């Protein structure tokens, strides 16, 4: 385990009595409340100094209410230092009222509008969506990219159209770790990393592997490639709790990543686990 408190850039929480999450009906293991006290217990021996909440695909009409609820949670959990909220960027200029309302909350650091769930792999290239993403710097907001590996090529084209936006790739682009499929993810990730306004979260790998049989060796080529592409200056740790619990507990994921980073300098480890996150999310 890291011998210093870390920053978790990818935490999900939901209270089914407060908001609606239609997708949970198809994931029985996760279809119950996951609250901040549950996360505290799940961390076990891992010391978490700061955390960033990432939107959880509630009913899109309730996006502002989700951010408001998490702001309430932060009043009792001061380590919660950032929110990545949901907003209808596909509306282009029509997203402005929602973005302005969210950005008025100093805890809201960025936006995530899921791309992975879109059947059209060119969704992220639609002119209105691109315009919505381009508007984020005006509100002081970054963008979390959540995609499947098949959408990576078009994601590169999106990012090239938005040079002023700070992006972070969630879950390393969700490669098919279960099948050990490195290509074309490997080449496309390197092309994305060549764009200086993109960071990458070391998160979500275990749920792209075989839930019950994955090993450290299954994940290692993917972790190594991310670090090789982005360097220690643009990668950051993410827990992806509780989604990750489908494949492992929280301490095991931290220990797995820490083992993969064995041999790194103390400064490099501190960048991955703390400083890069603090800088990107302005904590």
Please determine, for residue 253, whether its predicted confidence score (pLDDT) is greater than 90.
yes
Give tens-digit pLDDT for 153-178: 999 999 999 999 999 999 999 999 99
Whether residue 57 lies inside any domain: the answer is yes
Whether residue 45 lies inside any domain: the answer is yes
User: Which residues does residue 167 pair with via DSSP β-bridges, in sequence order?
Assistant: 143, 198
Q: What is the pLDDT averaged over residues 120-131?
A: 97
CATH code at 249? 3.20.20.140
pLDDT score recorded for residue 169: 99
Whether residue 13 lies inside any domain: the answer is yes
- Beta carbons within 10 angstroms of residue 161's beta carbon: 14
Whether residue 92 lies inside any domain: the answer is yes
pLDDT score recorded for residue 9: 98
Give tens-digit pLDDT for 81-94: 999 999 999 999 99
Residue with tokens 């592997």: 209
Q: How many domains does the chain have?
A: 1
**Portion of the chain with pLDDT greater than 90, in percent:** 99
Q: How far apart are CA 209 and CA 216, in angstroms?
A: 10
Categorize the per-residue pLDDT at 1 as very low, low, confident or very high, splitting at 50, 70 and 90: confident
pTM: predicted TM-score of the whole model, two decimal places: 0.97
Provide the angle, in degrees to the nearest 10, between the axes of the packed helices 185-193 and 216-230.
30
Q: What is the pLDDT averaged over residues 181-202?
A: 98
pLDDT score recorded for residue 135: 98
Categorize the per-residue pLDDT at 4 as very low, low, confident or very high, splitting at 50, 70 and 90: very high
Whether residue 66 lies inside any domain: the answer is yes
Q: What is the pLDDT averaged over residues 185-214?
A: 98
Give tens-digit pLDDT for 254-280: 999 999 999 999 999 999 999 999 999
User: Which residues does residue 168 pair with via DSSP β-bridges, in sequence order?
Assistant: 144, 199
Whether residue 132 lies inside any domain: the answer is yes
Whether residue 194 lies inside any domain: the answer is yes
Q: How far apart are CA 191 and CA 160, in angstroms?
A: 11
Give tens-digit pLDDT for 46-82: 999 999 999 999 999 999 999 999 999 999 999 999 9
Whether residue 1 lies inside any domain: the answer is no
Please determine, for residue 233, whether its predicted confidence score (pLDDT) is greater than 90.
yes
pLDDT score recorded for residue 199: 98
Q: Are 100 and 85 in contact (CB under 8 A)?
A: no
Q: What is the pLDDT averaged over residues 20-47?
A: 98
How far lies 76's CA from each of 33, 50, 133, in Å?
A: 18, 13, 32
Instruction: Give the structural domain span for 258.
Output: 6-280
Helix or strand holding residue 144 (H, E): strand 142-145
Q: Which long-range contacts (CB under 8 A, 24 or more apart) does 121-124 make?
A: 121/150, 121/151, 121/154, 122/154, 123/90, 124/151, 124/154, 124/155, 124/157, 124/158
Q: How many CA atoms lie within 13 A of 137 on its CB side?
A: 10
């Amino acid at each position: 385990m890291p011998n210093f408190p870390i920053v978790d850039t990818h935490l999900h929480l939901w209270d089914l009595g407060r908001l609606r999450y239609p997708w949970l009906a198809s994931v029985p293991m996760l279809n119950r409340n996951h609250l901040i006290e549950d996360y505290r217990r799940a961390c076990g021996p891992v010391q978490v100094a700061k955390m960033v909440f990432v939107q959880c695909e509630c009913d899109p009409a309730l996006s502002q209410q989700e951010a408001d609820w998490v702001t309430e949670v932060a009043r009792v959990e001061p380590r919660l230092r950032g929110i990545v909220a949901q907003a209808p960027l596909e509306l282009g200029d029509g997203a402005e009222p929602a973005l302005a309302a969210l950005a008025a909350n100093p805890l809201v650091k960025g936006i995530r509008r899921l791309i992975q769930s879109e059947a059209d792999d060119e969704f992220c290239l639609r002119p209105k969506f691109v315009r919505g993403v381009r508007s984020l710097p005006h509100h002081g907001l970054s963008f979390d990219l959540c995609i499947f590996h098949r959408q990576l090529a078009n994601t590169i084209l999106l990012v090239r159209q938005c040079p002023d936006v700070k992006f972070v790739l969630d879950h390393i682009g969700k490669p098919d770790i279960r099948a050990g499929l490195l290509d074309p993810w490997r080449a496309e990730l390197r092309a994305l990393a060549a764009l200086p306004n993109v960071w990458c979260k070391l998160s979500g790998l275990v749920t792209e592997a075989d839930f019950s049989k994955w090993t450290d060796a299954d994940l290692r080529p993917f972790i190594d490639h991310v670090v090789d592409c982005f360097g220690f200056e643009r990668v950051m740790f993410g827990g992806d709790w509780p989604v990750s619990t489908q494949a492992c507990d929280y301490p095991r994921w931290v220990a797995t990543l820490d083992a993969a980073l064995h041999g790194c300098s103390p400064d490099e480890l501190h960048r991955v686990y703390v400083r890069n996150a603090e800088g990107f999310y302005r904590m």
